[in-house]
């Protein structure tokens, strides 16, 4: 009898899915994984005008600032609640020597930023300035150490300088530079892209070096370090296998990084950020969805060697990489940001949330004026980009409980290729409210989507918001009204525990339910 009921239930569920083209079933009473707020992290490198002109203008600037850091940028970023900020790179990290960036600014030595434009770096923005920025942002610092061209002693002393309260030369040096109490920085990257710009190392060589560096980066007081090993580039599964097999996971490192950028065409000719057709839009979405396969396969390797789930997957560089804007320095990676970028952001964040059991941090590249930025600055003006508004919308998922969801989506078809038209995250906040974010990737068609909330007899719709634009390449620019922003959304009907949403083409929407 029980078997008959089970089969009957299966066929009922199956028939519902067959009859509904776009349907989401949310199990509101089965959530167990937490979506770490650190998935919504950011990345700022000494690259182009991300630091200088983006954050840092100096105390004597006419641009309103606090301790040399722009007030308008800090205020805007606090609106989206950034949980962490990774610095100083990127490729720059493995040529950065932290002692050049402390002490009186007039006495700091200069260097050439060989990776990004060959410009002179005057080191006026260093460790103290970065941690002042993090304090103003009320965010957690993530420091990437120099394994490529630095030394074990150099990284060990940096940790001591920031975290030790013992009587020691590094503690005395920090106090002499004006900081009596240690900052207690938890998150440390042990090198960056050491398969490439961080040293062109093999997986085997890097794994040995990482273990050596980790041995000499010490815990001070009750602050336990969370060390992130330099992980693979995209689909380099051999690198992940080597690191997890031989790197002493959970002890030498507590996280492993993964880098993957969405590039529409090729690394030599990436394509314009603003001038593109539907073919390029479709290709961008398809390549973004490859992140799903990457996460699944890398996590499978991690599960093999770390079945206790002690090591987090840290996607600390991701996002769209387009050609630079015409007339700008090619080494500064300045690109505009359109509705297409907003949808790429929503899809990636949905995928990180999907794998929240293992993905514990992610950092979009980059926060200000570089690649898929949240903010663009020009003199005393700032622009909030479409991607900024996705991060503002998705704050509802910070540290919420991931609700298991089954999604049936019609395809978005272009020529002879298909991708799912719908991307989804559903979560439950500590106050019991349920938040559902849904993206419609089809640029040509509005979708009607039925959402069934299992485990609830009755649902109430409280409010909604939406991000969309007139065109897939709509963007926000200086001196003009915003073309892409957050707006109120209420094209929602509720009957019992079923919510029906009419979602416009090329849009991201958020529903708050109870």
For tokens 């980790």, what's the residue?
Answer: 214
Q: Tell me the C-alpha to C-alpha distance, in Å, between residue 324 and each of 135, 179, 186, 384.
A: 31, 39, 34, 18
Task: Kindly report the number of other CB atoms within 10 A of residue 439's CB atom.
Answer: 27
Give the number of residues written for the chain.
514
Catalytic site residue 317? yes
> Do residues 161 and 174 lie in contact, with contact meaning Cβ atoms separated by under 8 Å?
yes
Cis check for the bond before 105: say yes or no (omega within 30 of 0): no
Task: Determine the Cα–Cα distance for residues 289 and 287; give it in Å rounded to an integer.
Answer: 5
> Do residues 335 and 324 lie in contact, with contact meaning Cβ atoms separated by under 8 Å?
yes
Q: Which of 413, 416, 316 is nearest to 359 (CA)?
A: 316
Q: Are strands 375-378 and 381-384 parallel, antiparallel or unpaired?
A: antiparallel
Residue by residue, DSSP assigns 428-474 as E-TTS-EEEEEEE--SS--EEEEEEEET-S---EEEEEEEE-SSTT-
Task: Determine the Cα–Cα distance for residues 96 and 91; give it in Å rounded to an integer.
Answer: 9
Task: Determine the Cα–Cα distance for residues 47 and 51; give it in Å rounded to an integer.
Answer: 7
Residue from 193, 209, 227, 452 carrying the catalytic annotation: 193
> Do residues 201 and 162 lie in contact, with contact meaning Cβ atoms separated by under 8 Å?
no
Six token digits for residue 123: 């080191």
For the purposes of burial, counting CB atoms within 10 Å of the CB of 104, is it exposed (0-12), middle (13-18) or buried (19 or more)? exposed
Q: Tell me the C-alpha to C-alpha distance, in Å, between residue 382 and each of 55, 167, 364, 385.
A: 11, 44, 19, 10
Q: Tell me the C-alpha to C-alpha distance, in Å, between residue 376 and each of 71, 157, 168, 301, 438.
A: 14, 35, 42, 38, 26
Bridge partners, residue 255, by sequence: 228, 312
Catalytic site residue 452? no
Task: Cite the active site residues.
Answer: 193, 317
């Amino acid at each position: 009898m029980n078997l008959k009921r089970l089969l009957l239930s299966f066929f009922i569920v199956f028939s519902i899915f067959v009859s509904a083209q776009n349907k989401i079933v949310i199990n509101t009473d089965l959530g167990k994984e937490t979506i770490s707020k650190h998935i919504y992290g950011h990345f700022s490198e000494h690259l182009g005008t991300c630091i200088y002109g983006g954050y840092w203008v100096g105390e004597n600037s006419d641009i309103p600032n606090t301790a040399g850091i722009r007030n308008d940028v800090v205020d805007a970023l606090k609106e989206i609640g950034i949980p962490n900020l990774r610095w100083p790179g990127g490729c720059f990290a493995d040529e950065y020597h932290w002692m050049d960036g402390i002490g009186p600014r007039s006495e700091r030595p200069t260097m050439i930023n060989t990776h990004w434009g060959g410009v002179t770096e005057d080191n006026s923005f260093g460790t103290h300035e970065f941690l002042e920025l993090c304090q103003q942002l009320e965010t957690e610092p993530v420091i990437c150490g120099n394994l490529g061209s630095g030394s074990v002693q150099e990284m060990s002393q940096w940790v001591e300088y920031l975290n030790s309260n013992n009587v020691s030369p590094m503690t005395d040096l920090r106090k002499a530079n004006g900081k009596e109490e240690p900052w207690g920085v938890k998150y440390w990257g042990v090198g960056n892209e050491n398969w490439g710009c961080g040293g062109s190392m093999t997986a085997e060589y890097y794994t040995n070096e990482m273990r050596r560096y980790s041995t000499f980066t010490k815990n001070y007081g009750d602050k336990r370090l969370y060390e992130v090993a330099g992980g693979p580039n995209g689909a380099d599964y051999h690198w992940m296998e080597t690191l997890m097999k031989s790197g002493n996971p959970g002890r030498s490192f507590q996280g492993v990084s993964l880098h993957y950028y969405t590039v529409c065409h090729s690394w030599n000719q990436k394509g314009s950020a603003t001038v593109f057709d539907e073919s390029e839009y479709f290709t961008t979405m398809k390549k973004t969805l490859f992140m799903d396969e990457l996460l699944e396969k890398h996590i499978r390797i991690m599960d093999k060697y770390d079945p206790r789930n002690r090591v987090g997957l840290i996607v600390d560089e991701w996002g769209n990489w387009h050609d630079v804007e015409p007339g700008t320095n090619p080494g500064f990676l300045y690109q505009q940001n359109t509705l297409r970028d907003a949808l790429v952001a929503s899809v990636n964040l949905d995928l990180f949330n999907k794998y929240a059991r293992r993905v514990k941090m992610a950092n979009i590249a980059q926060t200000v004026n570089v690649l898929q930025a949240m903010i663009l600055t020009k003199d005393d003006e700032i622009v909030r980009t479409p991607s900024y508004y996705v991060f503002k919308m998705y704050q509802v998922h910070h540290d919420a409980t991931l609700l298991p969801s089954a999604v049936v989506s019609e395809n978005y078809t272009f020529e002879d290729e298909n991708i799912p038209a719908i991307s989804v995250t559903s979560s439950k906040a500590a106050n019991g409210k349920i938040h559902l974010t849904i993206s419609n990737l089809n640029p040509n068609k509005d979708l009607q989507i039925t959402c069934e909330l299992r485990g609830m007899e009755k649902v109430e719709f409280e409010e909604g918001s939406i991000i969309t634009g007139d065109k897939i390449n709509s963007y926000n620019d200086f001196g003009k009204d915003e073309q892409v922003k957050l707006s109120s959304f209420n094209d929602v009907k509720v009957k019992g525990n079923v919510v029906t949403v009419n979602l416009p083409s090329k849009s991201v929407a958020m529903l708050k339910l109870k």
